[in-house]
Amino acid sequence: KTFNLPIIEVISGGDITKEAFTGDGILVNSPLINGLRVPEAKKKITAWLEEQGLGRRAVNYKLRDWLFSRQRYWGEPFPLIRLEDGTVKTVPLKDLPVLLPELEDYRPTPDGQPPLARAVDWVNTTDPETGRPARRETNTMPQWAGSCWYYLRFTDPRNDREAWSREAESYWMPVDLYIGGAEHAVLHLLYARFWHKVLYDAGLVSTPEPFTKLFNQGMILAYSYRDSLGKYHYPHEVERRGEQWVLRDTGEPVQTQIEKMSKSRYNVVNPDDVVATYGADSMRLYEMFMGPLDRDKPWTDEGIQGVHRFLKRVWSLFIAENGSLAPRVTAADPDPAVAREIHRVVKSVTQDIENLSFNTAIARMMEFVNLALKTEAVGRDAAEKFVLVLSPFAPHLAEELWERLGHAGTLAYEPWPAWDESLLEEDTVEIPVQVQGKLRGKVVVPKDASPEAIIAAAKADPKIQPHLENRQVLKEIYVPGKMVNFVVK
Contacts of 448 (CB under 8 A, 6+ apart): none
CB atoms within 10 A of CB 77: 20
Q: What is the CATH number of domain 301-423?
A: 1.10.730.10
- Tell me the per-residue pLDDT of 434-478, one tens digit each, with 9 for 90 and over: 999 999 999 999 888 999 999 999 999 999 999 999 899 999 999
Q: What gap in Å lies between CA 97 and CA 78, rounded to an integer?
A: 9
- State the average pLDDT for the chain: 92
Confidence (pLDDT) at 481: 87
Confidence (pLDDT) at 203: 96
Domain boundaries, the chain: 1-63, 80-136, 144-216, 221-268, 301-423, 428-488
DSSP 320: -
Band the pLDDT of 83: cuts 50, 70, 90.
very high
Q: How far is CA 139 from CA 82, 88, 101, 215, in A?
A: 13, 14, 13, 34
Nearest to 115, CA basis, from 92, 136, 140: 140
Band the pLDDT of 254: cuts 50, 70, 90.
very high
Would you say the CATH fold of 428-488 matches that of 301-423? no
CB atoms within 10 A of CB 486: 22
Confidence (pLDDT) at 207: 97
Which helix or strand (DSSP H or E) is residue 488 part of? strand 483-488
What is 428-488's CATH topology?
A: Ubiquitin-like (UB roll) (3.10.20)
Long-range contacts formed by 466-472: CB under 8 A, 24+ apart:
467/435, 467/440, 468/435
What's the rounded mean pLDDT across residues 234-254? Answer: 93
